[in-house]
Amino acid sequence: MAPRLACLLALAMAAIVVAPCTAQNSPQDYVDPHNAARADVGVGPVSWDDTVAAYAQSYAAQRQGDCQLIHSGGPYGENLFWGSAGADWSASDAVGSWVSEKQYYDHDTNSCAEGQVCGHYTQVVWRDSTAIGCARVVCDNNAGVFIICSYNPPGNVVGESPY
C-alpha cells in the first residue's frame, strides 16, 4: 500500500507543478490581451478558433526541435515569439512583446519608426482579423520557449492601415 500511496502523492505533486503553467497559456490568456490592445484603438474583438489553433500547434511542433523564428508561409497571418531558457514564458509575455511595438507605429503615416519593427503590433490590431489560434512549445534541449499566434484572415496587407 505504501508504494501505491507514494505514487499517487507523486502524481498529485506533478499536477500541482504543471497546473500554473497551463493556466497561464489557455486560449483566453491569448485572446484577452489581444482584445485589450484592439479595444485601445477601437477595433472589434478576436475570438479563439480551434482550426486556426490546430494549425498553430502543428507548426509549433515542427519548430520545437530548433525553435527558429521562421514563418510557416501558411494561409494565416502569424506572430512568432521565442523566449530564452530559464524563464517560464507565457501567453501574456508573447502578446505583450508584440503589443509593445505600438510605440513605434505611426497611424497617420501607417509606418514604423525608422529602424524599428511594428508589424507584430499591427497584426494584433488588424481590424479584419477576427479569429486567432495560438500554441506554445518548450524547445528541445531546454533551449527556450516558442510561441505562435495565427490570425484569420491574415493582416498586414501592404498599403492598408490596420484600423
Taking Cα atoms as reference points, which of 62, 71, 72, 32 lies closest to residue 48? Answer: 32
Task: Look at residue 160 and tell me if it is in a domain.
Answer: no
Residue 44 and residue 130 in contact, taking contact as beta carbons nearer than 8 Å: yes
Task: Look at residue 72 and tell me if it is in a domain.
Answer: yes
- How many domains are contained in the chain? 1
Residue 90 belongs to domain with CATH number: 3.40.33.10
Query: Over the chain, what HEC string results?
Result: CHHHHHHHHHHHHHHHHHHHHHHCCCHHHHHHHHHHHHHHCCCCCCEECHHHHHHHHHHHHHHCCCCCCCCCCCCCEEEEEEECCCCCCCHHHHHHHHHHHHHHEECCCCEECCCCCCHHHHHHCCCCCCEEEEEEEECHHHCCEEEEEEEECCCCCCCCCCC
pLDDT the model gives residue 6: 34
Task: Look at residue 18 and tell me if it is in a domain.
Answer: no
pLDDT the model gives residue 11: 32
pLDDT tens figures, 62-119 = 999 999 999 999 999 999 999 999 999 999 999 999 999 999 999 999 999 999 999 9
Taking Cα atoms as reference points, which of 24, 49, 19, 59 lies closest to residue 148? Answer: 59
Task: Look at residue 82 and tell me if it is in a domain.
Answer: yes
Task: Look at residue 94 and tell me if it is in a domain.
Answer: yes
User: In the structure, what pLDDT confidence band is assigned to residue 133 with cuts at 50, 70 and 90?
Assistant: very high
Task: Look at residue 70 and tell me if it is in a domain.
Answer: yes
Task: Look at residue 127 and tell me if it is in a domain.
Answer: yes
Cell, residue 81: 515569439
- What is the rounded average pLDDT of the residues 10-30? 55
Q: 9 vs 150, which has greater pLDDT?
A: 150
pLDDT the model gives residue 21: 41
pLDDT the model gives residue 18: 32
pLDDT the model gives residue 141: 86
Task: Look at residue 163 and tell me if it is in a domain.
Answer: no
Note down the domain range covering 51.
46-150
